[in-house]
Amino acid sequence: MREILGRRRRLRFRRKERTARLDAAVAFAVEWNWPVLPGASLRTTTRTAAGGGLRPATRTGAGAATGAACSCPDPDCVVPGAHPYDPGLLAATTDERMIRWWWTRRPDAPVVLATGGRAPCAVSLPAVAGARALAALDATGMRLGPVVATPTRWSILVAPYSLERLGELLYAKDSVPSSLRFHGEGGYLLLPPSVAGTGQVRWERAPLAGSARPWLPDVEAVVDALVEASTSAPGGGSRLAY
């Protein structure tokens, strides 16, 4: 009886998660006019102790461990569940009917934002450096918009910028840590409440409830603090941690 009740709870929780992803995708696209698309989802795999190889999980026995792998064809995908796959990034849309059709077919798919153009851009950095950067920006009284967090990386959403504008901004710096990533035109970012290989995607700074469209700072306003925080992070901020 306990096993049946536990299974029912898990099924209800999973249905709730799936509904949350669809609702979030529709809200981003329709209310905020952010183009989104479903990302590559995760699949459960079993790693055998003898050969160390991966195979689809069925029932795990002795010498086997379960894990998560990307649904894309690359067996060595370094960002499992955290990138576009099918459809491609250019398919990102704000059309509600298309979005509902996608997530009806793939309810476990993460929500991917196509950055740039009229959509937000972002700057991401390792989680430790991200926490330092937010503390430094808060200390100056800087107004920030939404901040997306995973267990390994934080991403600060900023107003759209061009590659030319970003290039001029970074050229003026003595150095830019390689752990910083810039999500501009042609880029993408996972949005909550997605789940990727690194874990749950959440809001570190959530958009204000009821806001018509979240306010975003210019990239110039935050990049100095992000570069400084990444440079002073353990390892000098040069490690490209996913």
Q: In this predicted structure, what is the pLDDT of residue 62?
A: 40
Contacting residues for 226 by C-beta, under 8 A, at least 6 apart? 123, 125, 129, 133, 156, 180
Q: Between 52 and 143, name the one with better pLDDT.
A: 143
Q: How confident is the model at residue 18 (pLDDT cuts 50, 70, 90)?
A: low
Q: How confident is the model at residue 26 (pLDDT cuts 50, 70, 90)?
A: very high
CB atoms inside a 10 Å sphere around CB 79: 16
Q: In this predicted structure, what is the pLDDT of residue 51?
A: 47
Q: In this predicted structure, what is the pLDDT of residue 186?
A: 95
Contacting residues for 53 by C-beta, under 8 A, at least 6 apart? 47
Q: Between 223 and 53, name the one with better pLDDT.
A: 223
- Residue 135's φ and ψ, nearest 5 degrees, are -65, -40
Per-domain residue ranges of the chain: 18-35+81-237, 42-80
10-14, 16-20, 58-62, 178-182: range with lowest mean pLDDT:
58-62
> pLDDT tens digits, residue range 175-220?
888 899 999 999 999 999 999 999 999 999 999 876 678 999 999 9
Contact between residue 145 and residue 205 where contact means Cβ atoms under 8 Å apart = yes
Nearest CA to 191 out of 145, 148, 144, 234 is that of 148
Spatial separation of the C-alpha atoms in residues 180 and 200, rounded to whole Å: 21
- Take residue 15 and report the two structure tokens written for it: 């249905």
Q: In this predicted structure, what is the pLDDT of residue 213?
A: 87
Q: How confident is the model at residue 14 (pLDDT cuts 50, 70, 90)?
A: low
95-109, 141-155, 161-175, 193-207: range with lowest mean pLDDT:
161-175
Q: In this predicted structure, what is the pLDDT of residue 142?
A: 92
pLDDT at 64 over 90: no
Q: What would the mean pLDDT of 153-182 be, rounded to a whole number?
A: 91
Q: In this predicted structure, what is the pLDDT of residue 84?
A: 94
Contacting residues for 165 by C-beta, under 8 A, at least 6 apart? 219
What percentage of the chain exceeds 70 in pLDDT?
Answer: 78
- Helix axes of 163-171 and 219-231: crossing angle, nearest 10 degrees: 50
Q: In this predicted structure, what is the pLDDT of residue 175?
A: 86
Q: How confident is the model at residue 61 (pLDDT cuts 50, 70, 90)?
A: very low
pLDDT at 2 over 70: no
Contact between residue 239 and residue 179 where contact means Cβ atoms under 8 Å apart = yes
